[in-house]
Amino acid sequence: MPNHKPYRILALDGGGTWALTQVKCLRKLFAETFNNPDPTGHEVLSYFNLVAANSGGSLVAAALAENLRLSEIEKIFDDEKIRSKVFSKLGFWEKSLLSSIARIFKIGAKYTTKRKHTALKEIMPGIATIDLVNVPSHVAVKGDVKTHFLIIGYDYYRNRAEMFRTDINSQASTASIIHKLNGLTDKLADAGGRITLVDAIHASSTAPVNYFNEPAMFKVNNKMKYYWDGGVTGNNNPVLAAITEVLCNWDQYDIGEVQVLSLGTGSVSQLQYDEDSPVKYSELKASYEEPGLIKDIQKMSTSILNDPPDTAAFVAYMILNSSMPAKPTNFIRMNPVMRPILVNDPNGKHWDLPSGISKEEYTALNAMDMDAVEDEELSLIKKMCDNWLNNEGVPNQSIRSDSAMNCLIGHPDFNSAIADFKSWFTPSSNLH
């Protein structure tokens, strides 16, 4: 008999400490949908069949697997002592001469990779010694084993994406593809040499160039492997990788309806410097910058960890919704976007800030990097997030928007997004 239960995906973007946004969003979702304002990680995971994550989002995924309550996961980002262990700054003697010179141009590493690995093991000791393939059993609630993980990294020497899976039988894995193409029908054996979920998220969260000083390094099958952040592969938003995983396993697992919850980590955007419409504040428009070697290196070193608003989400949405509904109930993208708002009032049509956000706050958020480690920076991220969660002005990221940045496809605000999330759990739903 086909499985008619919805197959649910939780996709968690990368974004450093901005991933605090994902945790706050999950708290709001569970408080209003299930009357559970502070669920454990395993309670959250029990509602999903696949968790796909990258970088900062992978840290959230691992903390859920550790079974920390959402309030405890918030502290990983919000508590300065814990945060500084993950983002442990390089000491004077740890900086190379080249990196010291590069920092003059605001390029180069600031944090130590090795101490991050140690900190992750300390924060999540429960999963630090469990093989990746055993995580689904570890997170199972009342013996119901169903939640798999897909963590994305970048293999430094093979120059390709590395998908760290808990599902050894996934038809998307290289071993399964070789097995199938060779016409083999016996069950795929576990080759051993597995890593832990902590190792996987260490690989996925080691951002290059401007952040960590060396690739994540650990042994796989007794051979040392080297990894950078999965954002390098173009999967900072991992939702398309998750949909691909589902397509490969559709028949194997009798997958029926697919429902996707894709959580971002917040973003800030400006208008182009030559925007014609009037702006209330000059800061809403980007300053013109002459392209050049140093400027382009600075831009590219951070852009590899960004994801354009439409790309991954739009392609994944189209795979599931060929009829292109304007407000898909099976594909929910939740992400606060600090952006200019085009208003038409008695003063005429002009660009303004979202309600509740000052010019100074917008400017500071726009200048803020993904490694926001100062308390005042985290306070601004939380203010943006709370404004969005409470529908006070900061809009939700569209799957596709028009030239005025208004929502064409997707959910224009958090309230409309959470309404469709709640609809997944009506009495007719039989997943829980």
pLDDT given for residue 177 in this prediction: 82
Long-range contact pairs involving 316-322 (C-beta distance under 8 Å, separation at least 24): 316/239, 316/240, 316/242, 316/243, 316/260, 316/262, 317/399, 317/409, 317/410, 319/243, 319/247, 320/243, 320/258, 320/260
* CA dihedral of residues 372, 42, 252, 321 (deg, nearest 10): -50
Q: CA–CA distance from 124 to each of 128, 149, 197, 220, 424 (Å)?
A: 6, 16, 10, 20, 31
pLDDT given for residue 431 in this prediction: 45
Looking up tokens 């399964």 gives 176
Count the helices and strands in the chain (H runs, E runs). 16, 14
Helices (H), 249-374: 293-303, 311-320, 359-367
Q: CA–CA distance from 97 to each of 65, 302, 418 (Å)?
A: 40, 22, 50
Judge contact between 119 and 112, C-beta under 8 A: no
pLDDT less than 50: residues of the chain = 1, 93, 192, 309, 430-431
Quick count: other Cβ atoms within 10 Å of Cβ 159?
A: 9
**Sequence-separated (6 or more) residues with CB below 8 Å from residue 111:** 87, 88, 89, 90, 211, 212, 213, 371
Judge contact between 332 and 417, C-beta under 8 A: yes
CA atoms within 13 A on the CB side of 10: 22
pLDDT given for residue 345 in this prediction: 85
pLDDT given for residue 95 in this prediction: 62
DSSP 258-275: EEEEEE---EE--B-TT-
